[in-house]
Amino acid sequence: MFEKTLLSQKVIVVTGGGTGLGKSMATRFGELGAKLVLTSRKEENLRTAAREIEAKTGAQVLVVPCDVRNYDDVEKMIQGTVERFGSVDCLVNNAAGNFLAATEDLSPRGFDAVVKIVLNGTFHATVAAGKQMIAQKTGGNILSIVTTYAWTGSAFVIPSAVAKAGVLALMRSLAVEWAEYKIRCNAIAPGPFPTEGAWAALMPGTGAEEQARARIPARRFGEHHELANLASYLLADGSAYVTGACYTIDGGEWLANGGSFNQLAVHDRTAVKQLLAAMKPKRS
Ligand code: HXC
Ligand code: NAP
């Protein structure tokens, strides 16, 4: 789909880059010539992903464990990137947390657990990378992974929905504010793409996957390479005039339905709550 040098020499930081969609995007960026920084909390996942990406693509990969909820950690991660590669050209805000819960049963700590990763974490990474991009005077490119319920809202995932809506507003606002510094800010809103993390958090009980697929006019889930190619396009210089945009990649799902988990609201509420309680990790 692209020339092999599309992202040649670009230094790209991917938060949550050790698993799922982050790892798939990083792999594609590596194939297209980028230098990569993978960051998240679990060093082992990052190292495994880095080894696989290096072997598959030949890309240089730096691993920096970092919790995006902690601004100091994030600043150190950006400093480490500059020490190794000399600059930060692109940031992909992909790290997230999510779970299904009835809102009246959600504790303030549960709300914080998701919002602090998704909204605060994206703000931290965006500001730390943005300051570096401004200082470099070479411009930059920030891409955030949201989801279609950022604008439709969705039942049972309220912390994620409000946080993703905030991230989208952050990208649109900074697209204007940081145009002065030649920093572009865009978003991608995926529908369902099979990953271990999303499936464990969001597919309650038997039949959930079939129901989720049936909601999609394309009658299939997204394939990782499709999202990775869209992200590559948005990070490439050829899309230089695209900023403040949000590209939907969902096989038509939100136009056909909207609110990814709203269907749970039509089932018996006691049964739904039992299902969600069974998914909640047990405290020892
Ligand atoms: C209700 C829950 C809960 C659940 C945790 N909590 N899981 N409440 N239902 N399933 C509550 C706890 O009871 C606690 O509150 C508080 O949240 C903090 O819990 P911790 O376990 O200490 O949280 P933490 O270790 O910080 O973990 C954060 C996490 C976890 C979000 C809960 O799942 C995580 O780290 N996830 C990262 C990976 C992930 O989620 N990937 C999926 C992304 S998919 P109390 O009050 O009891 O102390 C995605 C797709 C979007 O975003 C779009 C799909 C279409
Ligand atoms: P995933 O594999 O669970 O990815 C989430 C990543 O975030 C993990 O690598 C995790 O790594 C990292 N992370 C979580 N908390 C963090 C923290 N505090 N600091 C740093 N990193 C943290 O799930 P995924 O499906 O690939 O999701 C990737 C992105 O796509 C998310 O933004 C998600 O909302 C979005 N999305 C996914 C789908 C889908 O259907 N899969 C649909 C729409 C949108 P650690 O645990 O090592 O920290």
120, part of any domain = yes
pLDDT value at 274 more than 90: yes
Tokens representing 121 are 């974490």
Domain presence at residue 237: yes
Counted domains in the chain: 1
The bound ligand whose nearest atom lies closest to the alpha carbon of 41 is: 2
Residue 169 lies in a domain: yes
Q: Of all residues in the chain, what percent carry a pLDDT higher than 90? A: 93
Is 149 annotated in the active site?
A: yes
Kind of pairing between the strands at 90-93 and 140-145? parallel
Whether 151 is covered by a domain: the verdict is: yes
Contacts of 165-169 spanning 24+ positions with Cβ under 8 A = 166/118, 166/119, 167/93, 167/118, 167/119, 167/122, 168/144, 168/246
Residue 199 counted as domain residue: yes
Q: What domain range is 138 assigned to?
A: 11-279
For a mutational test of ligand 1's pocket, the pick from 45, 107, 151, 262, i.e. the residue with the most ligand atoms closer than 8 A to its C-beta, is: 107
| Domain presence at residue 4 | no
Could you say which of 71, 149, 181, 247 is catalytic?
Answer: 149
CA 121 → CA 70, 111, 137, distances in Å?
Answer: 8, 14, 24
pLDDT band at 261 (very low <50, low <70, confident <90, very high): confident
Residues 149-199 pLDDT 10s: 999 999 999 999 999 999 999 999 999 999 999 999 999 999 999 999 999
User: Is 96 within a domain?
Assistant: yes
Calpha distance 2→234 (Å, rounded):
12
Binding pocket residue ranges, ligand 1, CB within 6 Å: 96-99, 101, 107, 109-110, 113-114, 147, 160, 192, 197-198, 201-202, 260, 279-281
Tell me, yes or no, whether 207 lies in a domain: yes
For residue 100, report the distance from its CA to the centre of ligand 1, in Å. 9
CA of 180 to the centre of ligand 2 (A): 31
Q: CATH code at 254?
A: 3.40.50.720
Which residue's CA lies nearest to atom 27 of ligand 2?
21
The predicted-structure confidence for 198-246, as pLDDT tens digits, reads as follows 999 999 888 999 999 999 999 999 999 999 999 999 999 999 999 999 9
